């Protein structure tokens, strides 16, 4: 766990800017929660008309469930408003999750498999990229994956404890409720696993087992439902729309995120795990030949099948959706790793320890993918285009940090670089928009008595209807051509 924590703390400070998708949105909503913990908003002061359905530019923000946002807000309150504070909860959750995955591996197979599974999660590239905010959906998926995994761990522990499983039943309920408060209904997967497990074991079809499951489910409802009821009555318009919109993900391709049904089993599986995929098949064979008494591996494997099946059938597909099944995938990799080590010890005699070390380096290297991390989070190893993009993001972030000093209160700032205006409001207390206001919007601002400030135009000239307006110009911070930057 020390290695997991150190690695994550190192990485969360590397990028001194917010990533556009979706970290900047999560960060701004979390910052605004400091003013009112029960009113999640994106634009805290929307001086221009907005569409409540446009989650990237609206006011009340119910596009995501609130738990991971509350975690981020607590971090911002504790250590101050910064990029690292936004990422700190994900770093801590990823570190703490090492113990539950060790226990999952141990209960499902053996202590050695549990150890290798913990090592794999310590250096898991994709979770690290989510933690840094580089990978889309970022901190929401870290929290969701951890709470789903923790619920599966608690279920495996209660399954083992039998009649003395009261605290583990409670843990299942609480962790599943927390998962619901991150990404809603897929967080109930532990109950699908539980139901299937009982159906396959006639001896467990008892009233006592039913009471345990219902008790856990009641706790889950107690954790997750109050927020749903509260938002339904406090923000009825936004709540009704987001509920419908979330349901449409299954039957409709939303926001252009359509892929073939095999997307998660092909391209995306390689994208998340790369060469580790080779070991998944080996792990399946190993699990077939080395059956573990008690069947604790079945719930873990079944959770992976459910997630891959459900999201493959859904019309809207995004890369991170199936990473919640990482405990299942990496468990199979760990099983293959353990088999490889056992074979080396049986077959190679004195050089076994050396070969084990080589295998450790190969597997951890494939898991960590250090060259990709260096390319994404350092200027030195990035490609020229990525270097220019990174420099521009740092320059704009620095300018937004100075915005409160550069622009008096009561001004609205325009002509921020498109796609970074949300980050600007995280770094400052000013209302910021990309581009120029339309003539109608300018009249709305004038009627409110608001003054205008703007970043000096480069490729985006001042419109004719603003040329007589008193606009405070802010120096454009970018020292490289914006046209060359792949935003």
The 3 state secondary structure assigned to the chain is CHHHHHHHHHHHCCCCCCCCCCHHHHHHHHHHHCCCCCCCECCCCCCCCCCCCCCCCCCECCCCCCHHHHHHHHHHHHHCCCHHHHHHHHHHHHHHCHHHHHHHHHHHCCHHHHHHHHHHHHCCHHHHHHHHCCCCCHHHHHHHHHHHHHHHHHHHHHHHHHHHCHHHHHHHHHHHHHHHHHHCHHHHHHHHHHHHHHHHCHHHCCHHHHHHHHHHHHHHHHHHHHHHHHHHHHCHHHHHHHHHHHHHHHHCCCCCCECCCCHHHCHHHHHHHHHHHHHHHHHHHHHHHCCCCCCCHHHHHHHHHHHHHHHHHCCECCCCHHHHHHHHHHHHHHHHHHHHHHHHHHHCHHHHHHHHHHHHHHHHHHHHCHHHHHHHHCCCCCCHHHHHHHHHHHHHHHHHHCHHHHCCCCEEEEEECCCCHHHHHHHCCCEEEECCCCHHHHHHHHHCCCEEEEECCCCCCCCHHHCCCCEEEECCCCCCCHHHCCC
Asked if the peptide bond before residue 22 counts as cis, ω within 30 degrees of 0, the response is yes
**Percentage of residues of the chain with pLDDT beyond 90:** 85
Kindly state whether residue 119 falls inside one of the protein's structural domains.
yes
153 and 271 inside one domain: yes
335 and 204 inside one domain: yes
Task: Look up the domain containing 409 and give its range.
Answer: 384-484
Kindly state whether residue 343 falls inside one of the protein's structural domains.
yes
User: Token pair 């870290």 is at which residue?
Assistant: 142
59 and 188 inside one domain: yes
322 and 430 inside one domain: no
pLDDT score, position 293: 55
pLDDT surpassing 60 at residue 345: yes
Residue 157 — very low, low, confident or very high, per pLDDT cuts 50/70/90? very high
pLDDT score, position 160: 86
156 and 211 inside one domain: yes
330 and 454 inside one domain: no
Of 343, 374, 405, the residue at which a domain comes to its end is 374
221 and 305 inside one domain: yes
Kindly state whether residue 159 falls inside one of the protein's structural domains.
yes
111 and 233 inside one domain: yes
pLDDT surpassing 70 at residue 292: no
Kindly state whether residue 217 falls inside one of the protein's structural domains.
yes
Residue 456 φ then ψ, to 5°: -55, 135
- Structural domain total, the chain: 2
Mean pLDDT of the chain: 93
468 within 8 A of 370, measured Cβ to Cβ: no
Kindly state whether residue 183 falls inside one of the protein's structural domains.
yes
The pTM is what? 0.95
Of 329, 344, 374, the residue at which a domain comes to its end is 374
Of 374, 407, 428, the residue at which a domain comes to its end is 374
Least confident piece of the model among 228-242, 302-316, 365-379, 456-470: 456-470
pLDDT score, position 483: 42
pLDDT score, position 192: 96
Kindly state whether residue 152 falls inside one of the protein's structural domains.
yes
390 and 354 inside one domain: no
Least confident piece of the model among 123-132, 341-350, 461-470, 478-487: 478-487
- Distance from C-alpha of 80 to C-alpha of 397, rounded to nearest angstrom: 16
- Distance from C-alpha of 394 to C-alpha of 404, rounded to nearest angstrom: 17
341 and 446 inside one domain: no
pLDDT score, position 457: 86
Residue 487 — very low, low, confident or very high, per pLDDT cuts 50/70/90? very low
pLDDT score, position 291: 64
Least confident piece of the model among 82-91, 160-169, 229-238: 160-169
pLDDT surpassing 70 at residue 479: no
Kindly state whether residue 379 falls inside one of the protein's structural domains.
no
333 and 403 inside one domain: no
pLDDT tens string 61-119: 999 999 999 999 999 999 999 999 999 999 999 999 999 999 999 999 999 999 999 99
Least Cα distance to 434 among 56, 86, 88, 123 occurs for 56
285 and 349 inside one domain: yes
Least confident piece of the model among 270-284, 298-312, 400-414, 455-469: 455-469
């Amino acid at each position: 766990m020390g290695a997991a924590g150190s690695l994550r703390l190192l990485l969360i400070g590397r990028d001194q800017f917010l990533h556009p998708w979706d970290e900047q949105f999560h960060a701004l909503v979390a910052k605004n929660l400091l003013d009112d913990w029960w009113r999640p908003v994106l634009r805290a002061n929307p001086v221009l008309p907005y569409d409540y359905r446009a989650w990237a530019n609206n006011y009340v923000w119910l596009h995501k469930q609130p738990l991971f946002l509350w975690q981020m807000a607590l971090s911002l309150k504790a250590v101050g408003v910064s990029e690292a504070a936004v990422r700190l909860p994900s770093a801590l959750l990823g570190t703490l999750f090492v113990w539950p995955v060790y226990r999952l591996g141990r209960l499902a197979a053996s202590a050695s498999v549990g150890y290798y599974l913990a090592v794999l999660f310590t250096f898991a590239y994709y979770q690290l990229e989510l933690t840094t905010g580089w990978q889309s959906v970022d901190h929401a998926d870290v929290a969701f994956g951890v709470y789903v995994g923790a619920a599966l761990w608690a279920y495996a522990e209660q399954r083992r404890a039998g009649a003395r499983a009261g605290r583990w039943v409670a843990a299942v309920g609480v962790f599943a409720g927390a998962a619901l408060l991150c990404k809603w209904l897929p967080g109930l997967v532990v109950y699908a696993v539980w139901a299937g497990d009982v159906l396959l074991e006639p001896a467990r079809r008892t009233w006592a087992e039913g009471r345990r499951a219902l008790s856990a489910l009641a706790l889950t409802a107690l954790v997750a439902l109050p927020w749903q009821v509260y938002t339904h009555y406090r923000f009825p318009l936004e709540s009704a729309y987001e509920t419908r919109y979330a349901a449409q993900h299954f039957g409709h391709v939303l926001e252009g995120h359509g892929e073939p049904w095999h997307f998660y089993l092909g391209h995306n599986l390689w994208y998340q795990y790369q060469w580790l995929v080779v070991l998944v098949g080996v792990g399946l064979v190993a699990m077939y030949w080395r059956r573990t008494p008690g069947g604790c591996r079945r719930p873990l494997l079944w959770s992976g099948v459910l997630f891959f099946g459900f999201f493959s059938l859904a019309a809207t597909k995004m890369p991170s959706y199936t990473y919640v099944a990482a405990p299942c995938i990496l468990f199979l990799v760990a099983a293959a790793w353990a088999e490889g080590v056992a074979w080396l010890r049986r077959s190679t005699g004195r050089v076994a320890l050396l070969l084990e070390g080589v295998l450790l380096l190969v597997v951890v290297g494939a898991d960590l993918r250090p060259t990709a991390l260096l390319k994404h989070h350092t200027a030195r190893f990035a490609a020229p285009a990525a270097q220019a993009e990174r420099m521009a993001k740092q320059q704009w972030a620095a300018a937004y940090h100075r915005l409160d000093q550069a622009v008096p209160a009561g001004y609205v700032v325009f002509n921020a670089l498109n796609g970074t205006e949300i980050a600007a409001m995280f770094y400052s207390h000013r209302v910021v928009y990309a581009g120029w206001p339309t003539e109608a919007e300018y009249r709305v601002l004038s009627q409110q008595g608001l003054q205008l400030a703007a970043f000096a135009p480069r490729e985006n000239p001042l419109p004719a209807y603003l040329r007589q307006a008193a606009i405070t110009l802010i120096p454009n911070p970018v020292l490289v051509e914006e046209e060359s930057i792949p935003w």
